[in-house]
Structure 1
Amino acid sequence: MFEDKERWNRRYASQPPSGVPSELLLRHVDRIVGKKVLDIAAGMGRHARFLSKRGYYVDAIEWSDVALDALKKIPHVRAIEADLERGIALDCLYDAILCFNYLNRNLYPAMMSHLEKGGLLLFETFVADDANEGAPGNPDYLLQKNELLHVFCPLNIVEYSEKFVTREDGRRTLLASLAAIRE
């Protein structure tokens, strides 16, 4: 999907990277019991940078060349180039798996099976709703209401919400937030 790569390269090159980690990560970072984290669709590295400073080792998966270059500059971060639309091949278990502002339902099984016992899953992305102002237009990239709750019910759900938030650009959108632990 070369067009996707170019689109993301243009977006990341034209926007200053956000340095503010998600509130969901900030609330649950102390639940990460080990040091190995997977950041799916890591973007410019706002979460990888935050975790690196706290002593975590992060495998950051990204498709954009611009984002990969930024990720390679962060200590303790291994930037992995992968077209997530084609899936991912993981070869280890992680103490935490992060997925923010990205949705690919084909990754659900890998996310559950590559989470270490006691590992933390943090997943936050857009939910379909007629009142959305700042969510993707493609319904393939929008959760259904309570979808994450149902998909990840085999895990111990420690937090789940769906609420409207105001994004940095001032637009409101419905966001689902999940924190779950593999027992």
Structure 2
Amino acid sequence: MASHPHFSMQDPSDWVVRFGASLPAGATVLDLACGGGRHARWLAGRGLDVLAADRDATALAELAAVPGVRTLCADLEAGDWPWGEAQFDAVVVTRYLFRPRLDRLAALLRQGGVLIYETFMLGNERFGKPSNPDFLLRPHELLDWARGWGSVLAFEQGEIARPAPAMIQRICALRGDTLPVLP
């Protein structure tokens, strides 16, 4: 997916920072479709054990020397799914949507594990790419999906103005029904 000015290539997302900051040191985190690794770097810098997964071997090679980051080069949309179930304390996904495997994300979380997800939604076509509906969430899509497997801590959707106009949807949800300590 092409870069969008809303998502800096160096700075972690404010959404990921807000909820990732409450993860305990040593927690295992999957940064799914990590791209250049801005979140993997930030999370590992907080003492978390991060698996950065993407199909871009070149981007992953740049993460190989980052302490606390392991990498996995995998096509997340074709072939075998590279994970079983319940392996991570948290899963972080930004700027990525592949609906046929969306249900597998919740299964990657241990009981009480946290999903932190942020990507584009319908209406973003007014601002540029992505504009294909296959890569844009429908209104309340993440919220409706997460309610089927966990507890929603926070959900937002709508237009943002800065750093560039975009339509986005964000969710933070826990696997299971345990109430968390809020950040």
TM value normalised by structure 1: 0.83
Matched, 1:63 2:55: yes
- Give the conservation status (yes or no) of the 8 Å contact 2:90–2:109: yes
Q: Deviations over 1:46-87 (max 9, x none)?
A: 000001111111111111122111121211111100111216
Q: Which structure 1 segments of 5+ residues have no match?
A: 1-6, 12-16
Q: Which structure 2 segments of 5+ residues have no match?
A: 177-183
- Structure 1 window deviating more from structure 2 (21-30 vs 95-104): it is 21-30
Q: 1:29 to 1:70 in 2, by over 3 A?
A: same
Stretches (4+) displaced over 4 A: none
Matched, 1:157 2:152: yes
TM value normalised by structure 2: 0.83
- Give the conservation status (yes or no) of the 8 Å contact 1:61–1:79: yes
The structural deviation recorded for 1:117 is 1.1
Measure the CA separation in 1 of the matches of 2:37 and 2:17: 15
* Corresponding pairs, count: 168
Matched, 1:116 2:110: yes
Matched, 1:21 2:21: no
RMSD: 2.1
- Give the conservation status (yes or no) of the 8 Å contact 2:117–2:172: yes
2:98 is matched by which residue type in structure 1?
Answer: N
Q: Deviations over 1:75-118 (max 9, x none)?
A: 11111001112163214510000110000112222211110111
State, as a whole percentage, how many aligned pairs show the same letter: 33
Q: 1:98 to 1:166 in 2, by over 3 A?
A: same
**As a proportion of its length, which structure holds more helix?**
1
